[in-house]
Each structure stands twice: as structure tokens, then as C-alpha cells.
A and B are shown apart, each in its own frame.
Chain A
């Protein structure tokens, strides 16, 4: 029976010790520990929230970057395309010009050739005339170097005129 009968002396000491313990622990121990733990937990929560926020920001940034990249790519493509067009146009123009130039050159050459040709022909003609005259002179001289021949010619000429 002693086992389940409370003892006053022990009750007194238990009460005294427990109440002192409760007071001291509450004032000097639980408060600093709990405030430190709470503070840390708040810090951790804040850090986690910040991490989530940062992640979201990173994602938007990434999306923006992607957009910018896409735009840049499109721009590059258009620039390249334009450049290609310009280049091909330039090449075509150049070709046209070259063609025209060459045609002009050909035409001019032809004209020159024609002119040269006609000049050459004219000169040739005059040369031939001169040469023919010289040859005729020499032939005539040869024919007419004796008086017989001159008489014969005169006769013949006279004969021709008579006949007419």
C-alpha cells in the first residue's frame, strides 16, 4: 500500500524543484532556444521563397533570352537573305553591264573594222589606179619608143577615127 500513497515530503520537494525548473528553463533556456529555432526557420523559409522567386525570374529571363535569340536569329536570317539578294542582283547587274559593254565594244570594233576596211579599199583603189597609170605609161612608152610605132599608132588611131 505504501507504493500508492503519496508522501508529503517528496511532494514538497518535487513541487519546489519542478516549479523552479519551469521558471528557470522558461526564462533562460526555452525562450532563447525557441527564438533561435524560429528565427532560423524563418530564414530558411525566406531563403526557400527567394529561391522559388529567383527560379521564376530565371525562367522569365530565360524565356526573354530565348525570344531575343529568336529575334536575333530571324534578323540574321533576313539580313543574310537580303545580302544574298543584293549580291545576286549585283552579279546580275554586273553581268548585264558587261554584256552591254561587250556589245558596245563589239559594235565599235565592227564600225572601226568597217571604216578601216573602206579606207583600205579606197587606198587600194587609188594605189591600183596609180599603179595602172604607171603601168600604162610604161607600156605606152614601150610601144611608142620608135617613130615607126608612133606612126603605126597614129595611123591606127586615124584609121579608127575614120572608120567611125
Chain B
């Protein structure tokens, strides 16, 4: 999520506590001339652009300061373009900013041309393109006529993904070690905290939805997906470096997870499942030409809904918190922190619940779909 704004958020809390807010407020009110001056060389605060920037993936991990030239961790770029090419994203962010005109809409478009090892490439909206005669051409807001090399960069989300995976492994290994060392005893420490979750997934998610004791086969997948989403959801709520990326609110990640569920559902489906699709019991034969396409679409809408649900919930949470914090910056007055900070705090707490709820829902619905595909006929 918004590291920059979370830091600002802390700053605002401090200001709201100290009676300094009046000084800031009066300074802002009495220096309209100064503000006008600022506007001339600084872009006006654009809420939607800032929010979109923070919920999308990036090749840098922005910490604080202005969007370009502020403090950031530059992440490695890995391109597959006639061989593997790796260099720092600093070569783009500190590269040449170029403005051109869209050929159709005639709007002005800004993009970055890389320097040093990135000299052949340009970056537009965090996407990397190969330069065409030293420039990019735009048609209707899109890059036209330039090759897009395969981009396997360690982006903000990828780094967050690695961190989340390592965190899960470290925590889970220590829990597994506890059981290996102590055997079947009452859990202590981390095991005491995580065991109820494992048992919850086993009993209330797997066992409740997959009948006849077949759940043990799918339990590792359900546990992995549950903890993967849960840990990454929580990491997304932490504003400091290893957290803060909108990983589980990224359509690519949710797409991958829902495709996994789809593949497992189809792989474990039995005759009864397909019979329900191609010859739904109790439906007159005349209706089957309508029912079969509907049922076919139904196979894909279920995981599609999973994908959209997780993506939309996590992204929406990030957007709301960012928007609430932005109230301060729209009004250019720290006193608004008295309104925006408690509201953002409330939403953050709500997001803790949502983080758990979405992990639960994803795992539960996955189990439900798998369970439905495994169900035997009972007529």
C-alpha cells in the first residue's frame, strides 16, 4: 500500500497531537501567494493519480519525497529481449523525461527513456518498451509500434511476494519444528497461535465442504492458499518496506490463484459433475441446448468470481485508506488530520477483518467448488 502516505499519516498524527497544527494552518491560509508560486513549478496534488500509482505495481519501492527524485529502493529489471538483460530501475527513474503528443487524441504524454544499460528502452506507466528510432509513438493513449520485451523484473509486488513466502516458510518451519521436537503435545508459542488456524482450515473449510474424507488430499492446497492470502493481505496493511505492496489486490495474483482452483476442480471432477453440466438431472431434453452453455459458462464464472472478489476487496481497502489520507492533502491543511486520521484508522482496523475474511472466503469457496466436483450422485 501507500508507504509514502503512511509516513505522511504518522507525520500528521504527530502534528495533530502537538498544537502546531494551528501554526501550519495559518501559514497555509496566509500564504496564498506562496501557494500560487508553488503551483507554477510543482504539479497540483492529483488524488486519483496518486492512488493509482500506489495500488499498481512499480519497478521501484518509493519511500518518501517527490515521485521522481525522492527516496526509493530501485528494484532490478530483468528483460528477455535477445538474451537476458538485467539492470537497475534507477536507469529509468533517473533517465530522460520526454513529452510527446498523442497522434489521435493530441494530448501530451510523458514517458521515461532509460540511460546507461537501459538506453534502448523506455518506460511508460511502469511498462517497458523498446525504443523505436529513439522514441515512442502514442495512439489513443497506448504505445504504438514498439516491441514490448518479456519483463521478468523483480517489481514491488514480486519482492513483496518473495518476502511473504519467506515469512510463511520461517514461521511455519518454526511451528513444524515444535511438533517434530515435542510430538503430539499441547501447542506452545507460535504453534499455539497458528494451530487453531490450521485446524480451522481443516475442519471448517476442508472437512465441511469436501465429503467422505476426501478432504485430506486437498488440505495442503487449501492450507497453502489460505495462509498465502492471509499473510500477503496482512503484509499489504503494513506501511513499512517489506509490506505495503498491493499484492493480493493485483489481478495477476488473484488470476493465478483462481486458475489453480479451477485446474484442481476440473482435475478432481467425477462423472457426476459432468453429468450435471451436460445432462442436468430433472431438466427436460428440450431445454438442454440452453442449459449446457449456461452450465459451461458456470464452470468459469465460479473461479472468475473468486479472482474478482479478492482483487476488488483488497484494492478497495487500499483505495479507501489512501483517499481518506488524501483529504489532508486536498485541503492543504493539517487540521483535516483530525477527521481523516480517525477515519483511516477505522478503515485500517476494518481491513484487518477483511484480510482474514478474504483469505477464509477464497479457501472456503475453493473447497466448496472442489467438493461439488467430487460429489457423488445421491438421487
Contact = CB atoms under 8 A, between A and B. Distances in A.
A7 B176 contact: no
B256 A20 contact: no
A28 B177 CA distance: 10
A40 B56 CA distance: 45
B161 A32 contact: no
Contacts of A8: 150-151
Contacts of A39: 183-184
Contact of B152 (A3, A12, A17): A12
A8 to B, nearest CB: 7
A25 B57 contact: no
Given A32-B180, A40-B185, A6 B161 contact: no
A2 B250 CA distance: 10
Interface string A1-29: 01111111111111101101110111011
A33 interface: yes
B32 to A, nearest CB: 36
Nearest to A7: B252
Nearest to B174: A29
B252 A6 contact: yes
Nearest to B191: A33
Contacts of A5: 251
B176 A33 contact: yes
Given A3-B52, A33-B198, A37-B195, A17 B251 contact: no
B184 A36 contact: yes
Interface string B310-335: 01000100000000000000000000
Nearest to B172: A29
A18 B228 CA distance: 8
A13 B161 contact: yes
Interface residues of B, number: 52
A10 B224 contact: no
- Decide if the interface of chain A is mainly helix, strand, loop or mixed: helix
A93 B252 CA distance: 114
Residue from B165, B195, B223, B256 with most neighbouring chain A CB atoms (10 Å): B256
B224 A25 contact: yes
B224 A9 contact: no
Contacts, number: 113
Nearest to B182: A36
A37 B199 CA distance: 8
Given A11-B252, A29-B176, A32-B180, A21 B169 contact: yes
A4 B199 CA distance: 35
A43 interface: yes
A9 B150 contact: yes
B247 to A, nearest CB: 9
Contacts of B157: 10
A4 B251 contact: yes
Given A13-B158, A17-B161, A30 B56 contact: no
Interface residues of A, number: 34
Given A12-B152, A28-B173, A33-B175, A7 B198 contact: no
A15 B165 CA distance: 12
B58 to A, nearest CB: 11
Contacts of B57: 7, 10
A34 interface: yes
A162 to B, nearest CB: 156
B219 A14 contact: no
B195 A25 contact: no
Interface string B194-209: 0100110010000000
A162 B150 CA distance: 205
Contacts of B250: 10
A21 B228 contact: yes
Given A3-B251, A13-B152, A24-B169, A30 B219 contact: yes
Contacts of A10: 57, 155, 157-158, 250, 252-253
Residue from B157, B179, B183, B257 with most neighbouring chain A CB atoms (10 Å): B179
A3 B180 contact: no
Contact of A25 (B161, B168, B255, B256): B168
Q: Which 9 A-B pairs have the closest CB atoms?
A: A36-B179, A40-B184, A26-B220, A39-B184, A6-B252, A10-B252, A9-B151, A29-B172, A13-B158
Given A25-B227, A36-B183, 4 more contacts: A14-B256, A22-B221, A30-B224, A40-B185
Interface of B: 52, 55-57, 78, 125-127, 150-155, 157-158, 161-162, 165, 168-169, 172-173, 175-176, 179-180, 183-186, 195, 198-199, 202, 219-221, 223-224, 227-228, 250-253, 255-257, 260, 311, 315
